[in-house]
Structure formats: C-alpha cells, structure tokens
Amino acid sequence: MTGPVLVVDDDMVSRHVLGQALAKAKLEYVAVGSGAEALAQIDRVHPAIVLLDLVMPQPDGYQILRILRARPETRDLPVVVLTALDADDEIARAFEAGADDFVRKPFKPVELVARVRGQLRLRTAMEQLGKKEKDAQVVLELTQALASNLDFRGILFTVVQRLAEVAKVDRVSIVLVRDQENVGYVVAASDDEQLRDLPIDLVKYPEIQQVLASNAPLVVEDAATHPLMEIVRTSKQGATFSSLCILPILYEAKPMGVLFLRSKQPGEFGGRELALCQTIASAMAIALRNARVLQSLRDQTQQVTVARFEAERRMRSLQRYADFFESSADGIVVLDPEGRLLFSNPKAREITGYDEGDLRGRRLGDIFASEEESLAHDLRAAFLKGTFPKDIDVRLKTKDGKSVIVNVNTASVLREEGAVLASFRDVTQQRAVEAELVNTKDFLQRVIDSSFDAIISCDMRGRVILFNRAAERIYGRSSQEVVGTDVRSLYPEGTAKKIMKAIRAGGGRIEDLKIEIIDGDGVAVPVSFAGALIMEGDTAVGSVGIFTDLREKMRMEQRLQQAQEQLLAQERQAIVAELAGAAAHELNQPLTSVRNYATLLRRLLDAGTPAFGAAEVIEGESERMAEIVRKIGKITKYETKSYVGKQKILDLDRASEEGVPVAVPVDVGEEEAPRSESRRASGDWTEVHPGSRPAPAGPRSERAPQRSERVAKPTEKERE
C-alpha cells in the first residue's frame, strides 16, 4: 500500500465509524464529506483505495465513479462503494459505473477491512503485473535491437541509454574483457554516445575484478564507506558516484564483461530494476558473442555462397540417382541428427515390414530390438558429433514382431542440414550360417587339437597356418611360436622340398613316408608322414601334413627284436638240452644191459677168477657211465621214464612212433617184467631197451630167479 484509504461520506457518524475500523486495522486513511473534496484529495494524497458512499449531494457517488474511470491516472484506482440501498439494480448500476466492490450499511468492521485489504492486494498484484509487462516490453525492445543487423555500436548505446532510464541511474556502461588480461574496454556508455573501446586498467577497478572472479552481481549502496572502494577513494581521481551496481555478462558460464550501473545519489537498487538489467545482460552476452563472429561470418559469406552453389549443382547431378534409391537392393533411410526417420526406400520398408507413413517421423530406437536400445543412443550421439559408423550389425524388430539382423553403413549427406544416410541389408541367414561355421570350426579345431598325430598346415608360400597340440608335443615348440613362420624350418635341409615334390608326383597326396623332422632343440625325430595338397577347385591353396612319432614304435621294435633273439637262444639251448637228453636216453639202454649182464656174470663166476675180475671191471665202468648219464638227465630235465632209481629220461622210440614222449617201466633181471603186474605193483622198475633180450638159459638157470630176486631191488645209490 503506497497511499492512504480515502473515505468519502457525507454522514459524519459513518465517517467516524469507518475511520475507527480502519485505524483499528492499522490502515492509514483520509476522510472527506463531499464529492468535490474527494476529487481534490485524490490529486493531493494519491490514495491507494477509495471508500465511496453512493448517496450524497451532487456530485454523488455515481458521478465520482464516472469521473475517476474517465481520468487515465485514476482509471485503475480501486473503489469500494458504501450503500444502504437494498435494490439489486442499484448495485448493478454501481458496478456499471466502475465500482470494484461494495459493502452494505450497516457494515461489519471485519468485513469492511477484509474487502479493503482484498482490493489492496489485488491492486498490488495488478501493479506488479503491469511492471512486469513493461519490463517484458523493454526486454523485447532491447533484445530485438540486439538481434538486429544494424550498426552494433549504435545498438549498444541505445541499450545502455534505455537501461539508465528504466533503472533511474546516472550512468550505465558496458565493459568487456579478454581472457587472462588485466585490461578492460568500455564499449558503450549511456552518457557519451561517442565513447568507443576505451581501455581501462582493471587493477583500479576492484569491484569489476570481484564480479569477474565470482560471476555474481555486486551492489554498493554507499561508495564512501564500502571497503571494496578504498582504492578508488584514495586515488587522485576519487569516487564520482555514490552508489553502483555491477552485473556479469556471462556466456556459457564464462564472463565476457560487466554491465556497470552508477548513481550519484546513495541508496538501494530496486530488485525489479536489477532483474531487468540482468536479463538484458544475458541477452547482451549472446549478442556480443554473435558480434564477435559476425565479421568472420561475413568473410565466410562468399565462401558459403560458392559452396551452396556447388552443393546445388551436385544435388542436380545426384537427382538422377533418385531412381537408384528406389530400385536399390539395399534398404536406404535418411535420418536427422536426432535419429528420426525422414525417408525410406521400398527395400527398407520391405525389410522392416512398415509402410512409408509408419516409418516417417519414428525414432531410430523404435524399430530396434529392445536389447539394442543402448546402440540406438550411441548412434544418435555419434551423429551429433559428426561421426558415422560403418559395418555394424543391428537387430531390428519388424512390424509383425519378428527379429532380423541387418548390416548398417552410415554417411553424412547435406551437411548443412545434418541429415544422415543409412543403408542396410538383411543378413539374418548369413549370420546364422556364420555362427554355424564358427561352431563347426571350433569343433574341428577341438578334433584337430585332440588328435594323437601331429597336424601341420601351411599355405603355398610355406607359411605355417595350423600347428596342433600333438605337433607342439613332438616338436617341443608352441603354436604361437611356429604359426606364421616358414615350414622349412621344421625339417632338415632340403627335406621340405623333397616332400612337396613327392606329393605332387603322387597326384597331390602321399602316405607312409619315413622322414626325419627337427624339434625345438635341433634334434632329428623319426616320423611317418602322410600329406596332401588343399585344393579350391583345380587350384592348390595350401598343404597339410600328418606326422606320427616313430620313436616309441622303434623302441618297441628294438625290444621285440631283443626278445626274439633271447627266445631263439633259449630255443637253441632247449634243442641242445633235448639232444643231450636223447643221447642220455640212448646211452642208458645199452649201459643198463651191460651193467645187468656184468652183474649176472659176476654172480655166476667164482671170485678170484680172471673172468670174475673182468665182470667187476665191466660192472664198475658201466656204473660210472650210468652216473654220467644221470647227471646229463638232471641238467637237461628232459626225462620221462626212470632208468636208475627215480630218474626219468625221454623215450625217443615211443616219441618217434606216437609223436609224444612216453615212459616205459622195466623190472631189472626178469624176462617177464614188462608184463608182470605184480612187479609193477611192487615198484621194482628199471629201464630195458625194447630190443634187448633176457639172459640165455644155462646150467645155472635154476638159480637165476633167486639171484634175480635178490638183485632186483636197487641199492640206495641206484635209487638216487
């Protein structure tokens, strides 16, 4: 509230009651008793609101309303009418005359004060709206001036002059600065139209330095006492202004300079005026930035004109390619930098399943599969940076919900408009085949790596391209070390050339070739080699070799040879032993007969006779020979029948007849011994040659059975 409440009522009592109600509400008021006095007081006190009684001597309340509404300075003055009339037509007449509200008499003070305060708030709001409207008009006026293509220096002077009027200050100036410099330039001042680019030392203006450092406004209400102005007060020039306000001119949060407001009278700067100046300062920053590049833009105008002419010429030459876009086997779309679809050719619509109307205006991410959302964002970011990705796979979502994989290439077109051209083709089946090939390759690689034989492949230049784990084991070298090297380094000198010659001579393949290779330590390793050429049609593109390490096989063959030699030696020893056993057997037969006959002779002859002595000699020598035969039998262990005691030897006669050795029992001294079952049971056995005969009958034949019975049982020595 900027003025008092004007009470207009011809009734003294009413004026008194109204005054008490207003005073109690702490509202300042002025009371008058006639319309003429009311008009005079309005021009004098400039009331904030009028409480007007309608029924008064002329001029009455209706006339006062018409006068107030007719005058421009009181057109918006709030008027609350007081009336004791109950007729609605009178109230309507009052509102038609210009009343803002009414209170019936007798009134309640609370209601009266509430209506007065309501009108005051409404007037305040209207005044603020009016000021904002005026400020907006000023801002519009000045920003339009700053954006115009007229002389920029003259525009800056107009701006600061208009700001000085609105802010009611003595001087407004614009000071611009450069990065990392202590010199500022006054480019415009409201009180000097001719001032241009006046350099000032910023060291002498600490207030400007503070604003540039903080990017925040500075208000100094009294320069005579403000500590920041000490350097100015102590200078020879001294302070010529009592109050000042400095507003930063910021472009992209960086200070370009300041808007400097100064007044010769100390006091506060209104918030409304400061807000208006700050708005103008922000608009000025953009204008100043544009002004800095204006000259360079003008210099480039000719180049742009030439470039545009060239672009138009190229567009005319490219017009004939429009049919190509329509008939292209690849999908082609045009996007704006935000990723919106501007154009699509028939193939693009066929791949995506959308028609032209569906695609136009859609964002790129709308047709991407959900898992490709981040890729769509990355593409838009790349377009805005001027980067155009190529050869990327994208999964699209067609109109019918299917998922397809397309390979996309992008390029810029119409750079001045920021359009992007994207071509793509459906590679769903191709990628599925590639994935299957990768799986097959991985499987084959595992098969190759699990092979026991070494597998080495190389191209036709001899560069190794495959070296499996078995090859690593045989050569003692890693695949990383060998792949990419010359295959000839894996063989002795000249061997690789001979192998390739043999493969070509064998019609492109060779098997079971015994060669030597060189391992990582330079040691020759014997291997069995099988190789072949790798063909593409009729052209050889490489070769593959399979190596089987022969070292273990050779060691096994060597051990087998040694075993065979040992077996042969044992067989020879067995033959010798068999022959010795056979010889012992053949000797045993006659020796047995000789010894038996000698024993019989010795028993038949008288002791002391020469014949008796000869018989003893024969018996002793045959016994010695029999001992030798027994030892031979023990050594050879080829015994199958007893000939002395428990010793048995091979029966060659039966073996030659039946093919197997057999044992034949013989009772010593008994002609019927071979057929005597009782003698077999008694265990009295000896060896008799199958062709030997029993002793002939003679004069002592009657005693023979007694002697035979006595000597038939062998001695302990004989049993051994």
What's the pLDDT score for residue 87?
Answer: 67
What would the CATH number be for the domain defined by 456-549?
Answer: 3.30.450.20
What is the Cα Rg of the chain in Å?
Answer: 68
Query: Which residues face 408 on adjacent strands?
Result: 392, 424
Mean pLDDT taken over the chain:
75
The stretch 163-188 carries a mean pLDDT of 80
DSSP 172-201: EEEEEE-TT-SEEEEEEETTBTT--SEEEE
Please check whether the two domains, 148-295 and 328-432, share a CATH topology. yes
CB of 674 within 8 A of CB of 667?
Answer: yes
Give one word for 339, left, alpha or beta, with left for phi > 0 and alpha for psi -120 to 50: left
* pLDDT tens for each residue of 515-557: 888 888 888 889 888 999 988 888 888 899 998 888 888 888 8
What's the pLDDT score for residue 142?
Answer: 57
Query: Which residues face 454 on adjacent strands?
Result: 547
Min mean pLDDT across 7-16, 622-631, 691-700 is at: 691-700
Pairing state of beta strands 79-83 and 101-104? parallel
The stretch 606-622 carries a mean pLDDT of 85
Min mean pLDDT across 205-214, 304-313, 660-669 is at: 660-669
| Gap between the Cα atoms of 201 and 209, Å rounded | 10
Local structure of residue 526 (DSSP, 8 states): E
What's the pLDDT score for residue 420?
Answer: 81
CA atoms within 13 A on the CB side of 176: 16
- Residue that is written with structure tokens 């155009």 in the block: 388
The yes or no reply on domain 148-295 and CATH 3.30.450.20 is no
What's the pLDDT score for residue 605?
Answer: 85
Min mean pLDDT across 30-44, 170-184, 433-447 is at: 170-184
Residues 305, 309, 311, CA angle at the centre, nearest 5°?
115
Min mean pLDDT across 73-77, 145-149, 578-582, 715-719 is at: 715-719
CB of 13 within 8 A of CB of 52?
Answer: no
3-state secondary structure of 461: coil
Residue 14's pLDDT band (cuts 50, 70, 90): confident
What's the pLDDT score for residue 523?
Answer: 85
What's the pLDDT score for residue 672?
Answer: 36
Number of H helices, E strands in the chain: 23, 23
CB of 603 within 8 A of CB of 703?
Answer: no
| Gap between the Cα atoms of 39 and 35, Å rounded | 6
Residue 639's pLDDT band (cuts 50, 70, 90): very low
Query: Which residues face 666 on adjacent strands?
Result: 686
3-state secondary structure of 373: helix
pLDDT value at 668 more than 50: no
CB of 453 within 8 A of CB of 548?
Answer: yes
CB of 112 within 8 A of CB of 85?
Answer: no
Min mean pLDDT across 47-51, 196-200, 506-510, 693-697 is at: 693-697
The stretch 365-385 carries a mean pLDDT of 82
What would the CATH number be for the domain defined by 5-131?
Answer: 3.40.50.2300
pLDDT value at 388 more than 70: yes
What's the pLDDT score for residue 137?
Answer: 61
58, 608, 633, 643, 662 from 586: Cα distances, Å:
187, 33, 12, 11, 14
Q: In the chain, pLDDT over 90 holds for what percent of residues?
A: 1
| Gap between the Cα atoms of 280 and 174, Å rounded | 12
Residue 328's pLDDT band (cuts 50, 70, 90): confident
* pLDDT tens for each residue of 669-704: 433 333 333 333 333 333 333 334 344 433 333 333
| Gap between the Cα atoms of 259 and 276, Å rounded | 12
DSSP 108-153: -HHHHHHHHHHHHHHHHHHHHHHHHHHHHHHHHHHHHHHHSSS-HH
| Gap between the Cα atoms of 708 and 688, Å rounded | 15
Question: 469-497 burial by CB neighbour count: b if 16+ within 10 A, else e?
Answer: bbbbebbebebeebeeeebeebbeeebbe
The stretch 403-429 carries a mean pLDDT of 79
What's the pLDDT score for residue 661?
Answer: 42
Min mean pLDDT across 261-270, 446-455, 555-564 is at: 261-270
Q: In the chain, pLDDT over 70 holds for what percent of residues?
A: 74
pLDDT value at 240 more than 80: no
What's the pLDDT score for residue 588?
Answer: 76
CB of 341 within 8 A of CB of 396?
Answer: no
Domain range summary for the chain, segments of one domain joined by +? 5-131, 148-295, 328-432, 456-549, 567-719
Query: What would be the CATH architecture of the domain defined by 328-432?
Result: 2-Layer Sandwich (3.30)
* pLDDT tens for each residue of 290-318: 665 444 444 455 555 665 565 566 555 54
What's the pLDDT score for residue 463?
Answer: 92
